[in-house]
Amino acid sequence: MFQTDLLKDKVILVTGGGTGLGKSMATRFSELGAKIIICSRKMDVLQKTAEEINQKTGNEVFPFQLDVRKPDEIEKMIELLDQKYGKIDVLLNNAAGNFISPTERLSYKAFDTVVDIVLRGTYYFSLAMGKYWIAKKTPGNILSIVTTYASTGSGYVVPSAISKAGVLNLTRSLAAEWGKYGIRLNAIAPGPFPTKGAWERLFPDPKFAEKLINRIPLKRTGEHIELANLATYLISDASAYITGDVITIDGGEWLAGAGEFNFLDVVKPEEWDFIEKTMKR
């Protein structure tokens, strides 16, 4: 759906780009001509992914080891990338930590761990990149991967929910404040997209995954390429007038859960005949 050189020579930084959705988005951007930097804690994973993407697309993928909870490591990386490429065009905030648990079972440290990765990590990265672009007087583009429960809230993933809500608010707030510098910020709220990282921590019991499909109107989980194409649009110049927004890609899942009468899906046609007749009478 895109011209093959849509992202030619764009320098794109993907946090958590060694696995899952980050890897899929990095691969798509690389196919479309971008120079990619993937960063996270596990260098062996990053190196393997970088080689795999490079072999597939022929374009440069640079792995960098860091922890998004450490602003000094983020600043060091930005300095190095500026020396190497002379610019950074896009930041994709994708790294996250999450697991299901009744909230009352969480230790303070468990709560902090998720908030530190998801919320603190995202604002450290966004602040460092904003300062960089503002000082250089160049435009910038930040895309953050949130979730549908960033807006609705959700039990059993409370540290993640409050953090993603914070990231969404950060997106809206900074879009208003930094538009004058030519910096855009948007977010994507995905529903369920199977990845090893998410499935091991959120759907450890196959029963959970079965329940999940049933409540999605389109009766399937998302394909990585569908998310990657949406992300491509939002980081490309094709979406130059969109800022401060969030786009949901979830097969209708959250609306189906929210609508008062959506539970009537279970009523069969013959039951409707009876209901209609009785009601009219």
Contact 190, 227 (CB under 8 A): yes
- The helix/strand/coil state of 247 is strand
HSE-CB of 244 using CA atoms within 13 angstroms = 10
Quote the Cα angle for 30-36-40, to 5°.
125
CA distance linking residue 176 with residue 42, whole number of Å? 35
Active site residue 149: yes
Contact 187, 168 (CB under 8 A): yes
97 binds ligand HXC (CB under 6 A): yes
99 binds, among ligand HXC, ligand NAP, none (CB under 5 to 8 A by kind): ligand HXC
Strand extents, DSSP E, 155-251: 183-190, 246-249
Residues 127-166, interacting with ligand NAP (CB under 6 A): 145, 147
Residues 114-143, interacting with ligand HXC (CB under 6 A): 114
For the chain, the first-to-last Cα distance in angstroms comes to 54
41 binds ligand NAP (CB under 6 A): yes
User: Binder to ligand HXC among 4, 55, 83, 107 (CB under 6 A)?
Assistant: 107
Q: Binding segment for ligand HXC among 26-34, 103-111, 125-133, 272-280 (CB under 6 A)? A: 103-111
45 binds ligand NAP (CB under 6 A): yes
User: Binder to ligand NAP among 33, 63, 130, 190 (CB under 6 A)?
Assistant: 190
65 binds ligand HXC (CB under 6 A): no
User: Binder to ligand HXC among 47, 54, 101, 151 (CB under 6 A)?
Assistant: 101
Contact 236, 8 (CB under 8 A): no
CA distance linking residue 151 with residue 247, whole number of Å? 12
CA distance linking residue 119 with residue 215, whole number of Å? 28
252 binds ligand NAP (CB under 6 A): no
Choose, from 123, 124, 132, 149, the residue flagged as catalytic: 149
User: Binder to ligand HXC among 26, 161, 202, 234 (CB under 6 A)?
Assistant: 202
68 binds, among ligand HXC, ligand NAP, none (CB under 5 to 8 A by kind): ligand NAP
Active site residues: 149
